[in-house]
Amino acid sequence: MSSRVNSDPPPSRAALSRRSGADLANALGPQRLELLRVACSPGSSITEELHAFVVAFTKLRYRPAVADRIALTAYELFANGLSYGSISSMVALELAEEQGFVLVTVTNEAIQARIKVLVERCALLRTDAKSIYMEEIRRNVTGGIPRAMLGLARIVHEAGVELSVVAQGSAVTVVGRCKS
Amino acid sequence: MSNLSSIAVPKIDSLTLAVSEADGLVLTGTIASRDPNPTIGAYFKKVHEQLLATKPSKFTVDLTGLTFVNSSAVRLFIDWAMWIGQAGKTPPYKLHFRIARSITWQQTNFTALQSLAPNVIEIESK
């Protein structure tokens, strides 16, 4: 699992708007077979319908256990994008295959503080996903303030999916890499 | 004798909720709503309040047909365990979760939850 932040000077907003999530995600590796791309506005409430579609699609293409992992990853990343992304930009979900892995990519724009938190959380999960997951469950059991990290922790700990983050200016792409 | 069947069951397209005195609560389908608390959480709360009044030793929640829940829905089950834990030094009843060995989210999340609230939660894997 990697957590990367591009250190280049941020591109202009106009330049960013010309770049799709696929452009950013394609920088992660060659020989990708794109399977699915969906984008919607943050105010949308299509998570249930989108989840049902992803489940149906992945169950046709993969073993049930793999389909379940992809569906969980797609749901939680997309829901996070809707919840924490900029209200003025689209949230995009993409599924692709690359060298024996399924890549679940969610791209959206967010304020720098949100991106920083996301990068930090992914880095934490890289160190010890099980402990972070248990901490999130414990935080809820003991009545602590829930953080929006249970979903990411489930992706890594429960589904065994690797997460990486690529940020460029206000655009952030989170990729879940699931062995197919 | 409880009167669980008198509690209005929320209508959710992807989920079937069935309750009976004999079988407890049976959930079938998926929970993918971004905020299930006002519907399912509120229903769980009413069931819990009814159980506090009738004082069964345990209450079974059958999840073997619940194939997917999002993280917001995981919190619903955690909340239920919390309500029981907060009801007194001795839990008024135990939550007996019947889960499927073949469904990863159930094994992972309920094993973790039971380890944190062993006096409140029982797990039966089928």
For residue range A138-163, list pLDDT tens digits in order.
887 666 555 568 999 999 999 999 99
Q: Are A103 and A162 in contact (CB under 8 A)?
A: no
As a whole number, mean pLDDT of residues A101-130 equals 94
Q: Are strands B94-99 and B58-69 parallel, antiparallel or unpaired?
A: parallel
Residue A66 contacts B where some CB pair is shorter than 8 Å: no
Predicted complex ipTM:
0.88
State yes or no: pLDDT of A5 exceeds 50. Answer: no
For residue A19, what pLDDT is reported?
52
pLDDT value of residue A53: 94
Which chain B positions have a beta carbon within 8 Å of A75's beta carbon?
32, 68, 70
Tens of pLDDT, residues A73-94: 999 999 999 988 888 889 999 9
Q: What is the pLDDT of residues B68-117, one digit of tens each?
A: 999 999 999 999 999 999 888 899 999 999 999 999 999 999 999 999 89
**Using a CB-CB distance cutoff of 8 angstroms, which residues of chain A are in contact with residue B71?**
76, 150-151, 154
Q: Within a 10 A sphere around the Cβ of A126, how many other Cβ atoms? A: 16
Chain B neighbors of A65, CB-CB under 8 A: 104
Cross-chain Cβ contact A76/B113 below 8 Å: no
The pLDDT score that the predictor gives to residue A171 is 95
Inform me whether the pLDDT recorded for A37 exceeds 80.
yes
Sort A60 into a burial class: Cβ within 10 Å, 0-12 / 13-18 / 19+: exposed
State the average pLDDT over residues A17-36: 65
Contact A147/B at CB under 8 A: no
Q: Of A39-53, A56-70, A142-156, B28-42, where does mean pLDDT reach its minimum?
A: A142-156
User: Residue A135 and residue A109: Cα distance in Å, rounded?
Assistant: 28
Examine the pLDDT at A2 and tell me if it is beyond 60. no
Give residue A98's pLDDT band: very low, low, confident or very high (50, 70, 90).
very high
- pLDDT of B4 reads 87
**Residue carrying the six token digits 């009167």:** B3
Domains of chain B as residue ranges with CATH: 2-125 (3.30.750.24)
A83: nearest CA partner in chain B:
B34
Q: What pLDDT is stored for residue A86 in this prediction? A: 87
